[in-house]
Amino acid sequence: MPLEYKFKAKPYDEALKSALQAFPRKAVYELVPVSEALGRRIAEDAYAPFDIPRKNIAFYDGYAVRHEDTRGATASNPVKLRVVGSVLKDGEELGLRVEEGEAVYLSANSPLPEGADAVVREELTSKQGDHVLVKKEVELYEDVVLRGEDARKGDVLISRGSVIRPQDQVLLLEIGLTRVKVYREPMIGIASVGDELLERFMKGTSYPDNYFFLVSSTLRLVGCRTASLGILRDDPDEIAGFISKNISYYDALALIGGASRGLRDYTGMSVEKIGEVIFHATTLSPGKVSGVCRVDGKPVFLVPGHIGSATSCICNIIIPIISKIYFEGAELLPKVLAKLTTFIESRPGLYTFRTVSLEWCNDGLRATPHLKRLGGSTLITILSKAGGFILIPPGVKLSSGELVEVTLLNPLEVFSWKSH
């Protein structure tokens, strides 16, 4: 490697800060039908345009009454009330009023007429001509959903940056929205680097660059679109030409491999020909040879070739930067609190990325760290067993039983949690 190429590790916190400062926010929004918004991130707070519900409504089918008219009612000594109307849908309550000794039949979710302040469930009554026999005393507002009880006008119903779920679609439609403003999904171009990968391809290996799926699938799960751009040779000019040719078509590029200190690791050198290396090498372990570069104002990520190092780079460098630029800082990876099952500590001078398995127990969620030689950076089975990770700053020791923050490796990890 030529002497002029600077390969000096920056402290992880400083490296990430410098990378975040290097790129302005470029979030782009689009309006999509609510029916097609599942899984997208909402780009603005959704406010209640009115009280929800807008009126006092019945929780069950039954009779709207004045609660004081039911005093002393029992199955053996029912109270007799005169039925003066019915409300089966919104608007039919207008013009009706419940006076002393009266009741109005209504269906669930129908508004109460004026004068009524409680609902008697239909199964606690029996009909007798134009009257109803109430067999139970009810309290004020019993089985009534009060106006604004669900939400008040102006309340934030869904916060900016939240992932739209099925229940959110229902809520958005309920408040009258048919389209919703969401973040445009950034397109990330991904290529693998290495002559050895091309050799595997020539020998007929089905997926010689299988780590592409690690980067691509993780980014897709947090709201990005991805494209496979193939395999590049260990050739500085080819790599630089590839970046120059493709950077205008994508919001960011990620190059997997060729980022280490080896004699044929040319990725960082190649980017330096056409752009700026924000940092290349940091005190993140595993993931020390990760890098971030800037070409035409866009990020180019240098991803290590080891599976653990690549994962650490994705979670601790790529996703925070993607979040800042394209999602206005939204938290793309969920976090949970869990109790450690064993003592762990960071390696001297390093931010230690430690994967954990998560398990539900009687006392809550437990996190069991994976402790392997060399940090387990090359062991795929460790990642397959992992549900999340802990990032431990230098010099920090964590005790068994301590409550720690665990970041999930992706939003699907909750499906892999075991119960004990």
pLDDT tens by residue, 183-201: 999 999 999 887 676 666 6
| pLDDT (mean) for 270-284 | 88
| Range of lowest pLDDT (54-63, 177-186, 227-236) | 227-236
Q: Where in the chain is the domain with CATH 2.170.190.11?
A: 57-145
CATH fold, domain 335-419, is: Beta-clip (2.40.340)
Report the chain's mean pLDDT, rounded to a whole number.
Answer: 90
CA distance 326 to 24: 9
- Looking at residue 380, its amino acid is I
Which helix (H) or strand (E) segment holds residue 235: the answer is none
| Range of lowest pLDDT (66-70, 76-80, 172-176, 343-347) | 343-347
**Would you call 103 exposed, middle or buried from its count of C-beta atoms within 10 A (0-12, 13-18, 19+)?**
buried
Q: Which CATH class is domain 57-145?
A: mainly beta
CA distance 77 to 74: 5
* Closest by CA position to 109, among listed 95, 97, 119, 98: 119
Looking at per-residue pLDDT, the higher value among 364 and 105 belongs to 105
Share of the chain above pLDDT 90, in %: 73
**Beta bridge partner(s), residue 387:** none
**Beta bridge partner(s), residue 331:** none
Query: What's the CATH superfamily of 30-52+155-183?
Result: Molybdopterin biosynthesis moea protein, domain 2 (3.90.105.10)
Looking at per-residue pLDDT, the higher value among 272 and 339 belongs to 339
| pLDDT (mean) for 315-340 | 96
Q: Do 279 and 10 meet the contact criterion of CB atoms below 8 Å apart?
A: yes
260 has pLDDT over 80: no
Q: Is 390 helix (H, G, I), strand (E, B) or coil?
A: strand
Q: Where in the chain is the domain with CATH 3.40.980.10?
A: 12-28+185-326
Q: Read off the pLDDT band of 389 (50, 70, 90).
A: very high
Phi-psi region of 167 (alpha: psi -120 to 50; beta: other; left: phi over 0): alpha
